Amino acid sequence: MKISRKIAGALALSAAAAVVLAGCTSRNDPGQTAEPGATDGASTEDLTIAFVPKLQGIPYFEAMNTGGQQAAEELGFEWLYQGPTTADAAAQADIVRSFIQQGVDVLFVAPNDPNSMAPLLEEAQAAGIHVATTDTDAPDSVREVFVNQASVDGIGEALTDTLLEAMGGSGQYAIVSCGETAANLNAWIEVQEAYTASEYPDAEIVDIVYAGEDQAAATQMATDLMNSHPELTGLVGECTSSAPGVAQAVEDAGRTGEVFTVGLGTPQSMLPYLESGSSSGSILWDVEALGYLTGWAGVQLATDGDLGDLSGVDNEALAEAEYDEASGVLLLGPPTVFTAENAGDYDY
């Protein structure tokens, strides 16, 4: 079943939230005054929820956008989506400033640089906008919630296990990551380093390089790594552009079956490599469901809803979502390992 069909009707407002929303009055009613971003007394028709991805135009974030759009259609809010054309923190900051000036109600960001984004999130909050992160956190910021795709340990360990199983439990491998300051990627790498050392004593990470969000650069870096480390038998593509990039490098070098790769790639982008054997597995999650959950969380923030009331999650892709109030993390669920057998079931 295609994910676009699976996600239909995946989430609904809780009964309590629905009652609140049903009784809401438009903030555009005569005599009502509202600051930018204010939502007290607003119906979902008046809500604007904006999402600024790391960059626009790659399959991963376009799939998140699809999920957000579907949430908007079903829950009745306006979904705004805009990101930079390269994974550039300064360009992303300009878009965030634009949404602050527009006075959106809720602002979600997947920050390229969490530290430089933190002051902008504070500025947005001061303007009356609910601020949150999704896909990538800015933990040292004023964000109200982080919509997390999967646990850090779950992703890092799944990447390691899938690769080392293909490598026979031993050998040298390298990581082709993306942005050097991306909090999620760096957290996963830390887990991979510790988990490899503890669980696979005969394996070693020999290098970590950064290709930005450039698939061609990832392919070239993977090629260089194979040349500079003749004993290398594994490569990890740490994001959705480097995952197909490292697999392509192995194919180009004619080393399928000698150098094994895994990565965080979208199902359709990885399917040819999974079928050819140049990738042993893609560790990811239901990206459209993550976008939908982001939109749903935005409604809860704007209407003072209960992020912990996930009773409306009656869909397989979202059934394991849970909220931790102490950390402010809304977790989609455990990661999924995509293979040649199941990657074709998804249309992104």
Lowest mean pLDDT among 64-73, 106-115, 145-154, 303-312: 303-312
Cβ(196)–Cβ(205) below 8 Å: yes
Cβ(137)–Cβ(185) below 8 Å: no
pLDDT digits (tens, 9 = 90+) for 275-301: 999 999 999 999 999 999 999 999 999
Which tops the pLDDT comparison, 40 or 102? 102
Cβ(183)–Cβ(138) below 8 Å: yes
In Å, what is the CA distance from 157 to each residue of 4, 194, 200, 259?
A: 28, 10, 11, 20
Give the HSE-up count for residue 153: Cα atoms under 13 Å, Cβ half-sphere.
1
Which tops the pLDDT comparison, 8 or 62? 62
Q: What is the pLDDT of residue 217?
A: 98
Q: What is the pLDDT of residue 254?
A: 98
Cβ(274)–Cβ(281) below 8 Å: yes
pLDDT band, very low/low/confident/very high, at 12 (cuts 50, 70, 90): very low
Question: Average pLDDT over the chain, rounded to whole?
Answer: 88
Tell me the mean pLDDT in the region 223-229.
Answer: 98
Check pLDDT > 50 for residue 22. Answer: no
Residue 170 structure tokens: 């031993």
Check pLDDT > 80 for residue 173. Answer: yes
Q: What is the pLDDT of residue 268?
A: 95
Please report the sign of the dihedral spanned by the C-alpha atoms of residue 189, residue 191, residue 192, residue 193: positive
Q: What is the pLDDT of residue 72?
A: 94
Residue 152 structure tokens: 């850090």
Among candidates 120, 195, 112, which has minimal Cα distance to 151?
Answer: 195
- Tokens 């790594």 correspond to 225
In Å, what is the CA distance from 35 to each residue of 22, 28, 43, 102, 337?
A: 22, 11, 15, 11, 45
Q: What is the pLDDT of residue 26?
A: 30
| 106-109 and 130-134 beta bridge pairing | parallel
Q: What is the pLDDT of residue 90?
A: 97
Please report the sign of the dihedral spanned by the C-alpha atoms of residue 61, residue 66, residue 69, residue 74: negative
pLDDT band, very low/low/confident/very high, at 51 (cuts 50, 70, 90): very high
pTM tops 0.75: yes
Among candidates 290, 291, 272, which has minimal Cα distance to 282?
Answer: 272
Check pLDDT > 60 for residue 20. Answer: no
Beta strands in 101-245 (DSSP E): 106-109, 130-134, 146-148, 171-177, 203-210, 232-237
- Count CB neighbours of 295 within 10 A: 28
- Tokens 């135009």 correspond to 57
- Report d(CA 159, CA 163) in Å as an integer: 6
Check pLDDT > 70 for residue 8. Answer: no
Q: Exposure of 59 by Cβ count < 10 A (0-12 exposed, 13-18 middle, 19+ buried)?
A: middle
Q: What is the pLDDT of residue 314?
A: 54
- Report d(CA 274, CA 168) in Å as an integer: 18
Residue 288 structure tokens: 């459209």
Which tops the pLDDT comparison, 117 or 21? 117
Q: Cβ contacts of residue 42 below 8 Å, gap of 6+?
A: 24, 25, 26, 27, 34, 105, 302, 303
Amino acid found at 322: E
pLDDT digits (tens, 9 = 90+) for 239-270: 999 999 999 999 999 999 999 999 999 999 99
Q: What is the pLDDT of residue 347?
A: 87
SS3 79: strand
pLDDT digits (tens, 9 = 90+) for 181-222: 998 999 999 999 999 999 999 999 999 999 998 999 999 999
pLDDT band, very low/low/confident/very high, at 43 (cuts 50, 70, 90): low
Please report the sign of the dihedral spanned by the C-alpha atoms of residue 102, residue 298, residue 1, residue 151: positive
Q: What is the pLDDT of residue 310?
A: 77
Q: What is the pLDDT of residue 316?
A: 65
Residue 60 structure tokens: 């991963």
Which tops the pLDDT comparison, 133 or 16? 133
**Dihedrals phi, psi of 139, to nearest 5 degrees:** -65, -25
Amino acid found at 304: D
Tell me the mean pLDDT in the region 289-317.
Answer: 86
Q: What is the pLDDT of residue 315?
A: 57
Q: What is the pLDDT of residue 37?
A: 39
Lowest mean pLDDT among 108-112, 209-213, 309-313, 322-326: 309-313
Q: What is the pLDDT of residue 320?
A: 86
DSSP class of residue 94? H
